[in-house]
Structure 1
Amino acid sequence: MKIFFIGTIIMFFMFSCSDDIKSYPVGSDFIDNDVNLKVLDTFTINAGTFKLDSLITSSTSRILLGSVKDDYFGNLTAQSYFQVVNSDFSISSDAVYDSIGLVLNYDNYYYGDTTRVQTYKVHRLLEYFEPPEDDDAFYNVSKLEYDEEPLGEFTFSPRPTSTSDSIYIPIDKDLGEEIFNKIRDNDINSTDDFIQYFYGLTVIPDTLVDSNVLGFTYTSSSDIENNSGMRIFYTEDNDDTNEDNDHVINFYIPSSDKQFNTIKNNLSGTVIENLDDQETTIDSYDTDQLIFAQGGIGVSARIEMPTLKYLKTLSDESTSLSAELTFAPLLNSYDETRPLQDSLAVYIVDNKNRIVSQLTDADANTSYAILNQDSDEFNESTYYSIDMSGFVETIFNSETDLNYAIMIQFIDYNKTVDSVIIDDLNEDDNNIKLSVTYLEY
């Protein structure tokens, strides 16, 4: 009889949801009609937005730089800090200094309008590169003191999808010559010597423009190819005309924990400007029936299903078979400059918005919000779907009131600034909905 149940249940997965409990008899020719497959999709949904207190942005292996402005998310700026070191301290006495600059290699990540020009300024750090006392990482709110006078700046048109392109920012020539002379004259002859003399760099974008945020890659080695770093160029004169006399010293980021991004935003004038701390959730009724998520700054969407716990009271003998939550992004809130991601991360959070775990399905596989993209030009059927089977089972089998909700965020949200606006209740009734299919016997 169990085999018959499974075959019949699969057939019934094709039914659509109704506005009330819909009951389908299972195997009426062979068993009693009180065994039913039921679909319920009238759960109360409470939706809102909150902001994580801070995100670790060191050890992400991505330099994030840029500035964007948005009516919903305010003015966002990404600034990067990093230490640079060198492993080669041998320069011939015949060598002649040429120039110094900072090379940044694209890693293909971008957010915003890349047709607009951007300006980066390079500054020298004035304090040793280490996290605050009693901490072992840097966060999106971290900062280090730097010289207000820039070492150099560069205005450019981005090419973030280029696999072989980079940008070059010329740095103060006198600084480069000073470093060059100290190495050549053996005043600096080790990595420790250098980092005691030169703490590192920070790169600051033009914060007055609405342009883009770009990602740059680096490797913790002296290799120049596809690597970001500070470089000194010099020549050596010799009598061999067939030998290349041009040389370069690459000052590279020694490890991923020696780089971090400060990502900040000004929410003044937006509907979520009153996000004070992680425990503060702004209800969607106060944000025009919209909820929000953005990486980098920790703005997160919260979806709570308070009546889900009453599902088991409908019958003493029942079991859930599947569960799906769907939600739609706000129409016209996304385009090529702010595209929808194919999948979003989903976490379980408690009543204080503390992350409990990542969401999993009934088989303990990580469950994501998966984009279902409408192929027509109006995108009216574009939505995300989440397998909630594991969450429902947790609530269904718990003897206590867990008071859990789910949080929508971006995958790698500590090294991206992607955003999504979720429509809680739009005119097409394409609102947030939970549908649970269960067997009552």
Structure 2
Amino acid sequence: MRYFIISIISLVFYASCATDNSIYEVGDDFIENNIQVRIIDTFSIKAGTFKIDSLITSSTNRILLGNVNDISLGSLSSKSFMQLTASNYVIDSDAVYDSIGMILNYDNYYHGDTTKIQTYKLHRILETVEPEEGDSFYNTSTLAYDSQTLGELSFTAKPNKSTDSLFIKMDNTLGKEIFDKIVDNDINNSDDFLQFFKGLAIIPNTTIGSHILGFNAQTTENTTGNSKMRLYYTIDDDDSEDNSYYIDFIISNAAKQFNEINSDLSNTVLKGFIDSEDIKLSEDTDNVIYAQSGTGITARIEIPSIKKLSELYENATTLSAELTFNPLEGTYDDNKPLPEALSIYIVDQKNRIIQQLTTVDGDASYAILNKADDEFEANTSYSIDLSDFVEQILFSEIDLNYALMIQFTDYTSNINSVTIENNPVTNNEIKLSVKYLNY
């Protein structure tokens, strides 16, 4: 079957779709060329940014700590709260207390300027580590903690060294009290320990913008590179060259550790979100839209003119559909790389998630990064297969009013961000191209 271009025909989609880019007729063997393939890429796009009310940040297996300032997305800080337990509570009566401290092992995640000094402070949680509702903690969750500092550390980060760690020496009064209670058998199981010590809060310095770091938060005691609170003691033993011992207190349950992530947008173009239904359109945010994991800031793309395709011909079908968009130049580099893929969800008019976007085969569909060949990466873009989505809109008997939500694939465990351009002046607009067959 041969395809050849015959002409450019104007079509009007109620001022939503403009002119067809290309029209192809299919072969001389068909009756009077009644079969045509049309490529349409002049759909109107309604792009904006909204903010999800809350994201689950428990059970991520990551302690996320720090503070950063971003010109576009304001200041952001992350604290971490955790419940700790040990696998055994047995210390020999001849033992002598030594010290106690918190070991934080890097998991290689970082964001921001790691050359700046950061300070972490440890505080004792004052309430039971239980969510207010359900089984999960959110980025908006918090727990009361004692204002007295149990220990603190100022440091320069080395996040690329997975074998490296931070050690925050803690108050020996607390350590000796835990030690004595175990020796005296006042604490001999996790319930006893949690009655005495409900948990630990790690609070970063938020007075200067520095960086956000990730630390391992596993629930298995012998996991290599795991973070834990460690109590050291000694036992004089003539039969051993090493008389040093310790007990590790690890996170009791993945659901009992969460990160409180706070974002201040008051000095940005995104200030003043009312609720998750509030959308800041791209024309009001300097012709860009944003997605940021951890905070709920989310890019939204709506294409209201898709439904008009069904009015072209009585008998027609979509052969393919692709959405493309460009990350804003200057917002990414080697220190802030673009993700290879972004997750896409279908949302309704109130920004409630309906489902993850899928292909016609039912597989999850992602926005795939297409890197430019030139050194300036001027044509770097993302593309999304929207074939199934377009078909769903076209053949629904009701007006679905669906839009697309763009987020990071792991948007509950980090604070990465991407800025998407939608600017008619630079010709870097979000575009949908549909190949359409009428017969």
TM-score (norm 1): 0.94
In 2, distance between residues paired with 1:21 and 1:224? Answer: 58
Shift of 1:224: 6.2
Post-superposition offset of 1:296: 0.4
- Contact 2:20–2:38 (8 Å) recurs in 1: no
CA shift, 1:189, in A, is 1.0
Stretches of 4+ moved more than 6 A in 1?
none
Give the drift of 1:115.
Answer: 2.3
Report the residue type matching 2:96 in the other structure.
V
- Opposite residue 116 of structure 2, the aligned amino acid is R
1: CA distance between counterparts of 2:19 and 2:193?
69
Is this contact kept in 2: 1:362–1:393, CA < 8 A?
A: no
> What are the within-5 Å matches in structure 2 for residues 59-208 of structure 1?
59-132=59-132, 134-208=133-207
- Offset of 1:338 from its aligned partner? 2.5
Letter in 1 for 2:75: N
SS of structure 2 residue aligned to 1:90: coil
Classify 1:24/1:168 alpha carbon distance in 2 versus 1 (closer, same or farther; 3 Å): same
1:151 maps to amino acid:
L
Shift of 1:426: 5.3
One-letter amino acid of the counterpart of residue 278, structure 1: S
Q: Look up the SS of the partner of 1:195 in the other structure.
A: helix
Q: Which amino acid aligns with 1:284?
A: S
Residue of structure 2 in register with 1:423 after alignment? 421
Deviation at 1:216, TM superposition (A): 1.1
| Amino acid in structure 2 at the alignment position of 1:182 | K
Q: Distance in 2 between matches of 1:354 and 1:78?
A: 26
Q: How many residues align?
A: 427
Deviations 1:352-374 (A, max 9, x none): 11111101112111111111112
Q: Which amino acid aligns with 2:265?
A: L
Question: How far apart are the structure 2 equivalents of 1:21 and 1:377?
Answer: 30
Q: Matches of 1:291 and 1:239 in 2, distance apart?
A: 68
2:322 corresponds in structure 1 to: 324
Which ranges in structure 2 are unaligned for 5 or more consecutive residues? 6-17
CA offsets, 1:214-256, max 9 Å, x none?
Answer: 111122133263111100011110112x442111100010110
Equivalent in the alignment of 1:279: 277
Give the distance between the partners of 1:286 and 1:219, measured in 2 at CA: 43
CA distance in 2, matches of 1:164, 1:139: 30
| Partners of 2:33 and 2:229 in 1: CA distance | 76
Q: Which moved more, 1:171-180 or 1:334-343?
A: 334-343
Following superposition, the deviation at residue 276 of structure 1 comes to: 1.6
Secondary structure of residue in 1 paired with 2:355: strand
Aligned CA distance change for structure 1 residues 234 and 388 (closer, same or farther; 3 Å): same
CA deviation after TM superposition for structure 1 residue 68, in Å: 0.6
1:343 matches 2:341? yes
Which residue number in structure 1 is paired with residue 228 of structure 2?
Answer: 229
Q: State the partner residue of 2:27.
A: 27
Query: Once structures 1 and 2 are overlaid, which stretch shifts more, 246-255 or 336-345?
Result: 336-345
Contiguous gaps of at least 5 residues in structure 1: 13-17
Alignment partners' CA distance in 1, 2:420 and 2:385: 18
- CA distance in 1 between partners of 2:303 and 2:220 (Å): 49
Q: Which amino acid aligns with 1:328?
A: N
Cα-to-partner distance string for 1:16-42 (whole Å, 9 max, x where unaligned) = xx9634111112256541211110000
Question: Which secondary structure state, in structure 1, belongs to the residue aligned with residue 191 of structure 2?
Answer: helix
Report the TM-score when normalising by structure 2: 0.94
Match of 2:9 in 1: none
| One-letter amino acid of the counterpart of residue 295, structure 2 | I
The CA deviation at 1:143 is: 0.5
Which residue of structure 2 aligns with residue 15 of structure 1? none
Q: Which amino acid aligns with 1:263?
A: I
Determine the C-alpha separation between the residues in 2 that align with 1:224 and 1:186.
28
**How far apart, in 2, do the equivalents of 1:224 and 1:395 lie?**
48
Deviations along 1:284-324, whole A, 9 cap, x unmatched?
11111111110101000110001111011111111101110
